[in-house]
Amino acid sequence: MKLFLIGMMGSGKSYWCKELAKKLKCGGYDLDFLIESSEEKTIAEIFADEGEEYFRKAEAKVLRWFGEKKLFVLATGGGTSCFHENMQWMNKNGVTIWIDENIDVLAERLKPEKDHRPLIKDLSDDELKDFLSKKLEERKQFYSQSAIHLQGKDINLKNILKLIS
């Protein structure tokens, strides 16, 4: 089983990755952490020093490492699905699960994390909701290609396990 968790920043992909990996007794990985390890810089530093295009190429390269793995859960970045045909690649190589939380939930979760997230670090709390709404509209065309779509109250371990079995 190869599981790719996709969705907006703050949706809980990293949390569900850990929970699923524990339950399925397999490796759980966070794509952003792997990129930071590979590049020896934080995501914020990569964006600041090299720009988003460089980051997206590094992201696609690290994602492709999972083509060789047999059993894992991977929490992807919020934009991973939208670049370098990553969504098609993930659908071809595993099961994609869209973790789809509503904008109010995302905004509340992200407010204290803004400094660590390059795309939102300079936004006021009011601007954050507008930004998230616009980003979701841009990304929906990619996210909607996922094999499994879980929303709000339906996002729980029991439902995820039932849908992937």
The per-residue pLDDT for 117 is: 85
Does residue 6 contact residue 97 with C-beta atoms inside 8 Å? yes
Structure confidence by residue, pLDDT tens digits, 124-138:
988 999 999 999 999
Strand locations in 49-91 (E): 72-75
Structure confidence by residue, pLDDT tens digits, 77-116:
999 999 999 999 999 999 999 999 999 999 999 999 888 8
- Separation of alpha carbons 56 and 36, rounded Å: 13
- Separation of alpha carbons 86 and 64, rounded Å: 9
Residues in the chain: 165
* CATH number for domain 2-160, candidates 3.90.1150.10, 3.30.70.1380, 3.40.50.300, 3.40.980.10: 3.40.50.300
